[in-house]
Amino acid sequence: MSEKFYITTPIYYVNAEPHIGHAYTTIVADVLNRFHKLAGEETFFLTGTDEHGDKIVTAAENSGQTPREYVDRISGMFKDLWPRLNISNSAFIRTTDLYHQETVRNILSLVKEKDDIYFSEYEGLYCFGCERFYTEKELVDGKCPDHQTEPDVIKEANYFFRMSRYQEWLVEHITQNPEFIRPERYRNEVLSFLSEPLEDLCISRPKSRLTWGITLPFDEDFVTYVWFDALINYVSALGYPEGERFNRFWPHAQHIIAKDILKPHGIYWPCMLKSAGIEPYRHLNVHGYWNIDAGKMSKSVGNVVDPLSLADIYGVDPFRYFVMREMAFGLDSEFSEKALVNRLNADLANDLGNLVSRSLTMVHKYFDGVLPAPGPSGEEDEALRSSAVELVEIYRGHLNKMAFHKGLMAVWEVISDVNKYIDAMAPWVLAKSDPERLKTVICHIYETLRIIAGLVWPFIPASAEKIQEQLGLKRQGENCSLEDLKKWGLEKPVHPIRKAPGLFPRIDVKKKEKHAPAAARKEKPKKAKTDGGEPQGLVSFKDFQKLDLRIGVIVAAEEIPGSKKLFKLTVDMGEERTVVAGIKGHYEKENLPGMQVLLLANLEPAKLMGVESQGMLLAAGDKDGLHLMRPDSETTPGAKVK
């Protein structure tokens, strides 16, 4: 029987569109989900949307929609976002789902039967942004610390959950289980809060004030407080109380949240579970904020960063890698696009991307793409082999402690080791001096790459699978386990090693060419070599020969939403390629299909406005605009230009 793993994100409010904060938490959950799969565990990964309460009603009114129409629309945006960020959630829950509403009512009845709910008049300071009452002490300068607004004084009769009854038990539980809330700073925060007497929790809202909620099972005139409704999603999604999935996964539950919602998760939720007779979750994992310009980024402040446009511009994997590498889980991080570009260029394009491409090129150059059997070995091989194999457990240790950035740093140390090993072993010299030794070196590089690809899969799944495919591995993605990774030499390629275009195109920081059309991408002329290389400004015939210029025929031309200059073209050059060309405004899209063109076919792929361009059309520009280069008579598509 395999171990089980259950991971959840907060269910996000649908009062605004998803931003980088939501994307981060969900990517963390996704990385953990994939990591636990690699560890051989059976996993369940839940995310969803929180759709009741005052906030939602106000947002719906502001957008001129009914709450129902509004929640359907925004919840849909969250649901659609996740596949685009390659999120592998097992389920998506909405608090307006009927089964969830039923579970909330069942739990309320259960808690009421235990005499843990009572009715009472209450006057208190209420923040509509947080949808909760505040004590004087919790306010900062008389204002809500989150919304910087003065709370309203509200007097009303309501239902209360006897949370105070569970205070002692909770303190004991947290003390006995040091990993219950982690990292430690958040555990201490909760314990410090619990050092004062815990007040009971108001868990209803009169329908005279709010109707958009779940009606209490024991009083038709009230709806449930949004947090009492929302937290229950974590068990309703598993089919509590009878669901087989509930019994299987709940004992292994781990939540991920940011520090903004520590109190409901660290205090209300365990008390609710205890009262309902459900065992507590296993871990509450709390991360910090993504700040922007040194302030908290949030929907209410309005300085949001859109994850999709970042993923569109830089690629999904570079975006995922960046957020996981940049933030130390538990601490705040400052978001900057420049830092993202730097990481992409340095860690992904230079370190990992170059390593893969130079390694595969060598297998081609020296062994026609067929991995040889190893020859005699030496000390250097053993050093690389042990650091690669030991990496698996080091990585596991970091990820188990939520230290994702450290896990990645450890992988990148080994990437640097392989790069150094290649430089030290100089395969290009061995190719002439010791071809048998070269075989060993190539095998060691191959094996280390297999381990690296497996370990980066949770973070950058699509790129890792591309590498695994290029390596000809049978076990790819989740089919490759941590245990398998430790078995040196486990797999032989099932097909010859594939040479493929670069994995991570570099972004030119200075020129900020990222939005520019491929055709307009002008490289600065390379500086003349001082070591007897080619004279400045001239290109050797050898260099010219590196260009793979082909005749192609445009078979389709499409608009790219939001782009004024670009068309997405499908070009047949023996095989079909997608090429993004900056010719809009110079050509009508209807006139393009059937046109023969000249194509640079081995240009490093680049993503333009979210579309990967796998080549470049050649055109000449003058005062009349752009003129596509074409053969002077009908030529077979794919014919090479010499």
Residues lying near ligand ME8 in the complex (CB under 6 A) are found at: 10-13, 21-22, 24-25, 50, 230-231, 233, 257-258, 260-261, 289-290, 296-298
Our CA dihedral for 516, 519, 525, 531, rounded to 10 degrees, sits at: 110
How far is Cα 23 from Cα 20, in angstroms, rounded to an integer? 5
Cβ proximity to ligand ME8, 11 vs 235, nearer residue: 11
Cβ proximity to ligand ME8, 99 vs 118, nearer residue: 99
Instruction: Give the active site residue among 37, 52, 112, 144.
Output: 144
Q: Are strands 567-572 and 576-581 parallel, antiparallel or unpaired?
A: antiparallel
How far is Cα 38 from Cα 457, in angstroms, rounded to an integer? 9
Separation in Å, CA 541 to CA 489, 538, 545, 630: 41, 10, 6, 23
Alpha-helix runs per DSSP H in 166-268: 167-176, 184-193, 226-231, 233-236, 244-249, 262-263
Note if 299 is an active site residue.
Answer: yes
Instruction: Give the active site residue among 19, 252, 584, 607.
Output: 19
Our CA dihedral for 190, 191, 197, 203, rounded to 10 degrees, sits at: 30
Q: Give the angle 140-141-146 at the CA atoms, nearest 5°.
A: 40
Note if 127 is an active site residue.
Answer: yes
Is the N-terminal amide bond of 307 cis, ω within 30° of 0? no
Residue with the closest Cβ to ligand ME8?
21
Instruction: Give the active site residue among 37, 130, 252, 255.
Output: 130
Q: Residues 6 or more apart from 452 whose CB is under 8 A from it? A: 352, 388, 411, 414, 415, 418, 467
Nearest distance in Å: CB 15, ligand ME8: 8
Instruction: Give the DSSP per-residue string, 254-274.
Output: EEEEEGGGHHIIIIIHHHHHH
Instruction: Give the DSSP per-residue string, 539-605.
Output: --HHHHHT--EEEEEEEEEEE-TT-SS-EEEEEESSSEEEEEES-BTTB-GGG-TT-EEEEETTSPP
Nearest distance in Å: CB 13, ligand ME8: 4
* DSSP 8-state symbol, 642: -
Instruction: Tell the burial category of 100 from Cβ atoms under 10 Å away from its Cβ (0-12, 13-18, 19+).
Output: buried
- φ and ψ at residue 393, rounded to 5 degrees: -75, -35
Cβ proximity to ligand ME8, 43 vs 49, nearer residue: 49
Cβ proximity to ligand ME8, 257 vs 384, nearer residue: 257
Instruction: Give the active site residue among 173, 296, 364, 405.
Output: 296
Cβ proximity to ligand ME8, 304 vs 313, nearer residue: 304
Cβ proximity to ligand ME8, 24 vs 567, nearer residue: 24
Nearest distance in Å: CB 240, ligand ME8: 15
Nearest distance in Å: CB 90, ligand ME8: 17
Q: Which residues share a beta bridge with 122?
A: 156
Nearest distance in Å: CB 456, ligand ME8: 23
Instruction: Give the active site residue among 4, 143, 147, 486.
Output: 147
Note if 526 is an active site residue.
Answer: no
Note if 444 is an active site residue.
Answer: no
Note if 22 is an active site residue.
Answer: yes
Nearest distance in Å: CB 221, ligand ME8: 25
Nearest distance in Å: CB 27, ligand ME8: 11
Note if 147 is an active site residue.
Answer: yes
Nearest distance in Å: CB 335, ligand ME8: 9
Nearest distance in Å: CB 300, ligand ME8: 9
How far is Cα 347 from Cα 405, in angstroms, rounded to an integer? 13
Cβ proximity to ligand ME8, 14 vs 125, nearer residue: 14
Cβ proximity to ligand ME8, 180 vs 290, nearer residue: 290
Nearest distance in Å: CB 115, ligand ME8: 25
Is the N-terminal amide bond of 183 cis, ω within 30° of 0? yes
Separation in Å, CA 42 to CA 8, 33, 34, 476, 616: 15, 9, 10, 17, 45
* DSSP 8-state symbol, 231: H
Number of helices followed by number of strands (H, E) in the chain: 22, 25
Instruction: Give the active site residue among 36, 52, 127, 252.
Output: 127
Q: Residues 6 or more apart from 104 whose CB is under 8 A from it? A: 214, 224, 228, 229, 232, 236
How far is Cα 543 from Cα 540, in angstroms, rounded to an integer? 5
Cβ proximity to ligand ME8, 23 vs 443, nearer residue: 23
How far is Cα 174 from Cα 552, in angstroms, rounded to an integer? 67
Count of CB atoms within 10 A of residue 492's CB? 11
How far is Cα 520 from Cα 10, in angstroms, rounded to an integer? 44
Cβ proximity to ligand ME8, 261 vs 451, nearer residue: 261
The dihedral built from the CA positions of residue 94, 95, 96 and 98, taken in this order, carries a sign that is: positive
Cβ proximity to ligand ME8, 260 vs 478, nearer residue: 260
Instruction: Give the active site residue among 252, 299, 466, 565.
Output: 299
Nearest distance in Å: CB 25, ligand ME8: 3
Q: Which helix (H) or strand (E) holds 196?
A: none
Catalytic residues: 19, 22, 127, 130, 144, 147, 296, 299
